[in-house]
């Protein structure tokens, strides 16, 4: 069973770039039928999908964040990363890294089966 751990600064200044890394243990990033992604949750609010990276390195982003977000991977370290550019106070949230199980069976679909513990990032000067 994989374990995911987020790391990165807990505070970022407005207009700067938020950078987080997720270290995966107990599972390979290159394993077929699994994507790796990021979800965030502003304080007291619901969950927002950010994007994901596939086992082959393809990336997919939420349309609302696509212009400011980059997800990348370092398979040698079994890590994947998130960058959010030009942050504002609205980007303040708990950021979760997740594993997405891809099930290519009609009617079944994908789901998040493992989550990191989450890390709070505050955008403030």
Secondary structure letter of residue 66 according to DSSP: T
Q: What's the min distance (Å) between Cβ of 86 and another protein?
A: 22
Q: What's the min distance (Å) between Cβ of 124 and another protein?
A: 21
**Between 1 and 125, CB nearer to another protein:** 1
Distance, in Å, from the CA atom of 6 to the CA atom of 28, rounded to the nearest integer, reads 16
Q: What's the min distance (Å) between Cβ of 35 and another protein?
A: 6
Distance, in Å, from the CA atom of 63 to the CA atom of 20, rounded to the nearest integer, reads 20
**Between 10 and 63, CB nearer to another protein:** 63
What six digits make up the tokens of 33?
């039928």
Q: What's the min distance (Å) between Cβ of 125 and another protein?
A: 27
**Between 66 and 74, CB nearer to another protein:** 66
Name the residues that contact another protein, by CB under 8 A.
35, 46-49, 52, 54, 60-63, 96, 100, 102-103, 107-113, 115-118
Cβ neighbours of residue 35 closer than 8 Å, sequence gap 6 or more: 52, 53, 54, 55, 60, 99, 100, 102, 110
């Amino acid at each position: 069973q994989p374990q995911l751990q987020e790391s990165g600064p807990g505070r970022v200044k407005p207009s700067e770039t938020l950078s987080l890394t997720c270290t995966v243990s107990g599972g390979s990033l290159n394993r077929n039928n699994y994507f790796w992604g990021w979800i965030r949750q502003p304080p007291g609010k619901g969950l927002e999908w950010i994007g994901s990276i596939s086992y082959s390195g393809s990336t997919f982003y939420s349309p609302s964040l696509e212009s400011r977000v980059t997800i990348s991977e370092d398979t040698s370290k079994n890590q994947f990363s998130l960058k959010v550019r030009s942050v504002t106070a609205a980007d303040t949230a708990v950021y979760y890294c997740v594993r997405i199980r891809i099930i290519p069976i009609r009617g079944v679909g994908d789901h998040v089966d493992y989550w990191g513990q989450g890390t709070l990032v505050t955008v403030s000067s």
